[in-house]
Chains A and B, each alone.
Chain A
Amino acid sequence: GGRANSVAASMAMFGLLASLVFVMF
């Protein structure tokens, strides 16, 4: 459902941030 999708999107954003953090260090 839409809720799960937004959670998944949040996960993706978190992953995005995690990867960016990795790049920075």
Chain B
Amino acid sequence: EPQSTMFPEMTPECATVMPDLLEKCFATGSVTPTEDCCTDLKSATSTQVTCLCDNYIANPAVSNITGPYSKAITTKCGVFDKYSCDGTSKGGEEKKGGSSSSNGKDNGKSEGN
């Protein structure tokens, strides 16, 4: 049962996997991510991606602020596509194995604002 109306998707599982990334990457107040943060973002599981999307990046309650902020961080880490929260990677991300990857486009540079 959700504990907060602001974070309706905060499941116990999310509560377990989110703090690490939140603390390391999104609670710094800086749009320049650390190497440690980028490493974790790159190795984050689909569960973590889904939780971050649902509760933070694309959470309607905060996405107007966290969206651009997260975008800046994930873009700099080169993982914007993974955290685009557009439904392509949300929850169903397959990053290991698998010969049919439909989400493998290069995202070296994304547009600004």
Contacts and interface: CB of A to CB of B under 8 A. Distances in A.
A15 to B, nearest CB: 5
**Is chain B's interface secondary structure helix, strand, loop, or mixed overall?**
helix
B56 interface: yes
A4 B7 contact: no
Interface of B: 3-4, 6-7, 10-12, 14-16, 18-19, 22-23, 26-31, 55-56, 62, 65-66, 68-70
A-side interface size class: 10 to 19
Given A5-B30, A7-B65, A9-B29, A15 B12 contact: no
Contacts of B22: 12-13, 15-16, 19
Contact of B7 (A9, A18, A23): A18
A14 B8 CA distance: 13
B30 A18 contact: no
A15 B69 contact: no
A8 to B, nearest CB: 4
